[in-house]
Amino acid sequence: MTGSFHPLLMLLALMIGVTVVYQALDVTPRIGASRIAWQRTAWYGVGTWMIGLGLWAQHFLGILVRVPQLNDGLEPLSCVISGVLALLLAFIALRTADAEIMSRRRLLLGAALLGAVSVMLHLVMLTSLHLSISSMAHPLRLVIWFVLAGIASAGALHVLHLFRARPKRSRRRRVIAAFATALALNAVLHAAMRWSQQDFRPGTPADASAVMWVGAIIWLVALLSILASLAMSEWVAQLYKRTHHLAGSLDHLNDRLRHLATHDALTGLPNRPMLVERLQLALAGARAGHGHVAVVYLDLDGFKNVNDSLGHSVGDMLLCAVAERLTSLLRYDSLARVGGDEFVAVLDRMRHADSAERIVERMLAAMQEPFVVQGVQLRATPSIGVAHFPQDGDDVESLIAHADVAMYAAKQSGRNGYSIYDTRMRERAERVMTIQRALLTAIEDGSLSLHFQPKHDSHTGAIVGAEALARWHHATLGNVPPIEFIGVAERSGQIGRIGEWVIRESCRQLSEWRARGLAPVRIAINLSPLQLNQPGLVETAARIAAEAHVDPAQIMFEVTETMAMENAERTTLMLKDFRARGFEFAIDDFGTGYSSLAYLQKFQVRQLKIDQFFIQALEDGGPEARAIIAAIIELAHTLNMEVVAEGVETQLQADLLRTLGCDQVQGYYLSMPMPPGEFEQRYLTRTAADCALAD
């Protein structure tokens, strides 16, 4: 200590300043990283208290450095006011630095506020010590002091923001920055006190010792409080870090589950629910005037042949390659996979409506290049349909449906091209939508019915069974062809409900015929691909048969060869389950798929139904067609299966099939599908009578 200058207090003030600035550099990034409101509020509160207390202590010690005596003591109210101003100073600093980008305007405004509060804090502290402020109250000195405080504050805010933006800076850099900033703040305070020195009265060594003791106590209390708060904040930060890690793991798991629910498992593209959400946002943007919107529906030509000839693993790899190529032309979130080989793209924010055509033409050009899958070159050309908002539909479902209709028009026009939805397609689209809506009540209103087409023994002509076929007569649409309404039901997801009705109605009819003493007959029921993938199908069929008191052996389910081979292992297990419940099974459309003899043996089905393509070729296909059918019949008999020929339309076909050893025949030549009453009268009544005569 020399005269009215206390070097030790100067050093203590610097230590407090370094600690305070270090704390500010630690709290600011934590505030910036907090995304929950209560966490940000908590860090603001802790930071304001610690930094405010430190600033108050540093400032107080800085004043005491040049105070020779404290004969008049402290003025309590001014001390409290100075503490409040110090807390305000800390809050303004934290709030100003808490920004993603520190604009020049924000920096200057924050520095000005901090400079003004700093000047007020200094004057109030001088008052609390009963020191004269007349020299500091001079306007010129106030302006100079305000400018110096503002410059120092701007530098401190800049440093705070740097550490907020880069929270992973090393501790060494933080200490260096804290020391440099604290030194600058102390220098400004020292300069202000030199201007105030002329008003001080000289004191004795005892007065100086008293000043030292007061300063040391303030330093110790403030330092311990700050260090305790710092340790507490570090402990809370570590606890938060562990909690955040656990929460992050849960968030990651939730994000993963959400991704699986909204994205296709094979290609990783958004699925239909995600597409609907994406299109809803695009339509909202278009209604607000943000460009044009179009929906593009894409279907691969001949993809089924790839699956049938090369297997589903190759087909899956081809789909992934197609998805990758398409996403290179479009935004990732604008393309979705909605079916086996079907993709839908949402084109939004287009400046011109015809921009969609240029994009589609680029897609077509890109798809002309072959794909290389496992060393094999494959072509996957697309048929594309386009629907524009709002002229082709003003909601999500109508736009997708109309783009689908336009895609089918492109297929009918020769494939490997695109069609724009127009009024000529509207009638077809409206019919599809009408069918889809009417199917919802077709079971309840009785417009859906079952017809039965007999199967005959090819040698005796006797009836040996029948196939249940759904027929639909709508009040306004009339007789709707099965190929039309079944297709709509499959695409709209209603086929499961209709398929269950077919099983239930077939069992009800069998139960009614048995109750009336008519001869038993085996009924064949077709299963669609969607039904086959439904969980609980076997249990549902068994329950329906049990409720109707029908012997499961009277029910034979038919699946196409392609369906059976799509997942042969799963089909094997399902057929085993069906057989365990007493049901029979048949492979339909045999000869058009990609069968494995090993799996045919594993399937252990009761019948093979030769596809009508081969039957039609009997008359004009030469010896090759007969040789193919003969081979199929011999193969089936070797595996202890019956052979049924479907689509028999002439006497010659029936005779040739009988000669080749076919077991059963079915087709328009023998009988058209007919209502239950007519089937009963023509076949079951006569059969029952024949049985009675034989008895």
pLDDT at 170: 62
pLDDT at 431: 84
Q: Is 3 a residue whose pLDDT tops 50?
A: no
pLDDT tens across 290-333, in order? 899 999 999 998 887 787 778 788 888 999 999 999 988 887 57
Q: Is 59 a residue whose pLDDT tops 50?
A: yes
598 burial class (0-12, 13-18, 19+ CB within 10 angstroms)? exposed
pLDDT at 597: 64
Question: If we measure between CA atoms, which residue out of 366, 360, 400 comes closest to residue 381?
Answer: 366
Are 98 and 43 in contact, with CB atoms under 8 Å apart? Answer: no
In this prediction, what percent of the chain has a pLDDT beyond 70? 82
Cα–Cα distance, 529 to 550 (Å, whole number): 25
Q: Both tokens of residue 331?
A: 């935004």
Cα–Cα distance, 43 to 34 (Å, whole number): 9
Average pLDDT over residues 551-555: 94
Classified as helix, coil or strand, 444 is: coil
Lowest mean pLDDT among 38-47, 149-158, 583-592: 38-47
Lowest mean pLDDT among 67-71, 428-432, 491-495: 67-71
Lowest mean pLDDT among 73-82, 268-277, 397-406: 73-82
Cα–Cα distance, 288 to 421 (Å, whole number): 24
The mean predicted confidence, pLDDT, of the chain is: 81
167 pLDDT band, cuts 50/70/90, is low
Average pLDDT over residues 480-502: 89
pLDDT at 65: 66
Q: Is 183 a residue whose pLDDT tops 50?
A: yes
Most confident range, picked from 47-56, 155-164, 550-559: 550-559
Q: What is the pTM of this model?
A: 0.49
Q: Is 230 a residue whose pLDDT tops 90?
A: no
pLDDT at 512: 93
pLDDT tens across 421-469, in order? 987 777 777 788 889 999 999 999 999 999 999 999 999 989 999 999 9
Cα–Cα distance, 211 to 476 (Å, whole number): 104
Q: Using CA of residue 428, residue 429, residue 434, residue 436, what is the dihedral sign? A: positive
Question: If we measure between CA atoms, which residue out of 493, 472, 474 comes closest to residue 483?
Answer: 472
480 pLDDT band, cuts 50/70/90, is very high
Q: Is 538 a residue whose pLDDT tops 60?
A: yes
Average pLDDT over residues 664-684: 91
pLDDT at 665: 94
* Separation of first and last alpha carbons in the chain: 136
Q: Is 523 a residue whose pLDDT tops 90?
A: yes
pLDDT at 678: 92
Cα–Cα distance, 328 to 98 (Å, whole number): 39
Cα–Cα distance, 87 to 433 (Å, whole number): 69
Cα–Cα distance, 501 to 265 (Å, whole number): 31
DSSP assignment, residue 641? Answer: -
pLDDT at 499: 92
Q: Both tokens of residue 460?
A: 């005796």
Average pLDDT over residues 74-103: 82
pLDDT at 151: 84
pLDDT at 80: 82
Are 297 and 403 in contact, with CB atoms under 8 Å apart? Answer: yes
Amino acid identity, residue 41?
T
Average pLDDT over residues 564-574: 79
Q: Is 125 a residue whose pLDDT tops 90?
A: no
Average pLDDT over residues 200-217: 60
Looking up tokens 């417009």 gives: 447
In this prediction, what percent of the chain has a pLDDT beyond 90? 29
Cα–Cα distance, 350 to 356 (Å, whole number): 8
Angle at 9 between CA 7 and CA 14, to 5 degrees: 95
Cα–Cα distance, 83 to 120 (Å, whole number): 11
Q: Using CA of residue 203, residue 204, residue 209, residue 210, what is the dihedral sign? A: negative
Are 389 and 292 in contact, with CB atoms under 8 Å apart? Answer: yes
Cα–Cα distance, 498 to 694 (Å, whole number): 40
Kind plus residue range of the DSSP H or E element containing 624: helix 622-638
pLDDT tens across 371-383, in order? 998 888 888 899 9
pLDDT tens across 91-122, in order? 888 888 887 777 888 888 888 888 888 888 77
Looking up tokens 């003791």 gives: 213
Q: Is 198 a residue whose pLDDT tops 50?
A: no
